[in-house]
Structure 1
Amino acid sequence: MQIEPYAPNQLDAVIQLSLRAWEPVFDSIQNALDAEVYRVFYPDSWRVSQQKAVEDVCAAEDTNVWVAIDADSTVGFVAVKLHSEDNMGEIYMIAVDPDFQSQGIGTALIEFALAWMKDAGMAIAMVETGGDPGHAPARYTYEKVGFRQLPIARYFKKL
């Protein structure tokens, strides 16, 4: 497996692996949220909004994106934003194809991103994820590479 800069011809592969990777996450979110709130967040299905989110992040000028390649296939990606005013790098988005999970690819992408942030002069790194069961594998990976959680409670109510 190697990590290389994202190229626009990899967009479809990145979208497809992300949607597959995030399916259990969105099942978990749907179970955690009130049904009316969930419908407001994802009126056309979570896949539509997440595809647009991936497209936007891959095209954003303020975001650096790398892909993990294994046997000439795109198997994961990471997107990083730098917040120079806070001297902080942010892992903004990350996904690994479900067929390649639990093989260290997510960890490798995170470690690559952390080294890049440090080389860019950042002093701290941040990543945000959900506290629901669907995000448990992500939390495990973040904690494995040394991130520590700041508990935050975020509540939602349909108006």
Structure 2
Amino acid sequence: MEKELVVKEYSSENKTQVLELILHIQQKEYGIAITKEDQPDLFMIEDYYQKGNGNFWVALYGREVVGTISLLDIGNQHVALRKMFVQKEFRGATFKTASLLLQTALRWAKERSMEIVYLGTTEQFLAAHRFYEKNGFTPIEMNELPKTFPVLQVDRKFYKYVVSGRDYRMGYSARL
């Protein structure tokens, strides 16, 4: 049987692979000085992400975790996109892993009538910046984030995506 890429909700059986994937990308690929101890959310994914309007997904190729994405419920029909990572060999047009993960998360947000998805990222993730902008995210300043948005120490660039309803500050309406 040929392997195919599938996106599924996180379960505890994925815990070790998720941690290894994220740390490898952060530390080895991008040289970001962040440890697993700096990210306690990775040790309590069910309790941290999979509650309220939040969730956490993994992209699997066979039994191997090759990508992750999560939405953290931050209240007021807003969610924070977190932990979007894709193994180097699964980036790009061949597998479309990042697109599948993002589509899954945005569909989840729409089904739950979320209004806005916010995200913070590092300056090093230039390809990620292009990816988010290509997929409808608009850059915003840090002071435009809701007070409930959990800014990480490494976050320097911020985005928002209007899922549904009106963004009164910008004066337009957008739908997924």
Distance 2:81 2:132 in 1: 10
Structure 1 moving runs of 4+ over 3 Å: 50-53, 56-59, 151-154
CA 58–20 in structure 1, closer or farther in 2 if over 3 Å, else same: farther
Tell me the percent identity: 21
Q: What's the CA shift string for 1:74-97, capped at 9, x where partnerless?
A: 111111122342x22221221112
- With normalisation by structure 2, the TM-score equals 0.66
CA contact (8 A) 1:21 1:95 kept: yes
- Which residue of structure 1 aligns with residue 15 of structure 2? 11
How far is the alpha carbon of 1:50 from its aligned partner? 4.8
Q: Where do residues 3-82 of structure 1 align in structure 2 (5 Å cutoff)?
A: 3-23=7-27, 24-25=29-30, 27=31, 29=32, 46-50=34-38, 52-60=40-48, 61-62=50-51, 63-82=54-73
Structure 2: runs of 5 or more not aligned: 144-150, 154-176
Give the 3 Å change call, closer, same or farther, for CA 2–145 of structure 1 in structure 2: same
Task: Please state which structure has a larger fraction of its residues in helix.
Answer: 1
Q: Which has the higher strand share?
A: 2
> What letter matches 1:95 in structure 2?
F
CA distance in structure 2 between the aligned counterparts of 1:73 and 1:144, rounded to whole angstroms: 28
Alignment of 1:88-127 (within 5 A): 88-102=78-92, 103-127=95-119
Shift of 1:5: 1.0
The code of the aligned residue for 1:8 comes to: S
Q: Aligned partner of 2:126: which letter? A: A
CA distance in 1, matches of 2:127, 2:46: 23
Aligned residue identity for 2:129: R
Higher relative contact order (CA 8 A, sep 6+): 1
**TM-score, normalised with respect to structure 1:** 0.73
User: Using the alignment, how far apart are the partners of 1:125 and 1:79 within structure 2?
Assistant: 11
Instruction: Tell me what 1:149 maps to.
Output: 139
Tell me how many residue pairs correspond in the alignment: 135
